[in-house]
């Protein structure tokens, strides 16, 4: 009897994870809190040639959590060189990026990129994110989830039926 409860328990826990697309659709914040959501969003942005936006946002999030000054200096420089300098390989399109000069990189503080990060967040929120929710990539993932849920519901019903008849 114990065995059945285990398999039921696991099916109900995977049941909660299934609806990640529903969570992603509630807000960009929810999407960015979910590693799988970030992965799918990045795939989408890559197709739109704007993946640098989410990469910049993620780099800023990581930067804000740093406490070691030396690490902060390195990360600040990396963020600047990758996303903000004129020669940046993945330049993000933010206002006032030219005003962020390299001197600020010597004395980094956790919120030094906050304004720029907010700009990029809003750009993603009001532009890419709404397109992502209508994209094939998102809708296909959502369909897969719904199919898995139907399958798991059928399995649960079958388990219940077999339990009823086996008592």
pLDDT higher than threshold 90 for residue 75: yes
| Ramachandran area for residue 94 (φ above 0: left; ψ -120 to 50: alpha; else beta) | beta
Q: Model confidence over 5-28: pLDDT tens digits?
A: 333 333 333 334 547 899 999 999
Q: Model confidence over 116-126: pLDDT tens digits?
A: 999 999 999 99
> Has residue 60 been placed in a domain?
yes
H-run or E-run covering 71: helix 69-79
Instruction: Output the pTM of the full model.
Output: 0.75
> Has residue 16 been placed in a domain?
no
> Has residue 6 been placed in a domain?
no
> Has residue 116 been placed in a domain?
yes
**Residue given tokens 């780099």 in the structure block:** 59
> Has residue 149 been placed in a domain?
no
Which DSSP string do the residues of 82-99 spell out, in sequence order?
Answer: IIISTT-TT----TTGGG
Q: Residue 18: what pLDDT? A: 45
Q: What is the residue range of 44's domain?
A: 22-136
Q: Model confidence over 26-59: pLDDT tens digits?
A: 999 999 999 999 999 999 999 999 999 999 999 9
> Has residue 164 been placed in a domain?
no
Q: Which domain CATH number covers 123?
A: 1.10.167.10
**Residue given tokens 């933010």 in the structure block:** 94
> Has residue 127 been placed in a domain?
yes
- Exposed (0-12), middle (13-18) or buried (19+): which is 76, by Cβ within 10 Å? buried
Q: Residue 159: what pLDDT? A: 72
DSSP state of 100: S
Task: Give the number of domains in the chain.
Answer: 1
């Amino acid at each position: 009897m114990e065995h059945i409860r285990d398999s039921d328990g696991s099916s109900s826990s995977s049941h909660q994870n299934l609806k990640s697309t529903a969570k992603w659709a509630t807000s960009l914040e929810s999407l960015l809190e979910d590693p799988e959501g970030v992965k799918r969003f990045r795939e989408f942005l890559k197709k739109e040639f704007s993946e640098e936006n989410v990469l910049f946002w993620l780099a800023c999030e990581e930067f804000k959590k740093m406490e070691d000054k030396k690490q902060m200096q390195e990360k600040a420089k990396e963020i600047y060189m990758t996303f903000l300098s004129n020669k940046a390989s993945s330049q993000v399109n933010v206002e006032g990026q030219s005003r962020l000069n390299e001197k600020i990189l010597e004395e980094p503080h956790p919120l030094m990129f906050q304004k720029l990060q907010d700009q990029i967040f809003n750009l993603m929120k009001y532009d890419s994110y709404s397109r992502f929710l209508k994209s094939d990539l998102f809708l296909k993932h959502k369909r897969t989830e719904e199919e898995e849920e139907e399958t798991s519901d059928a399995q649960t019903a079958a388990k219940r039926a077999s339990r009823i008849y086996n008592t």
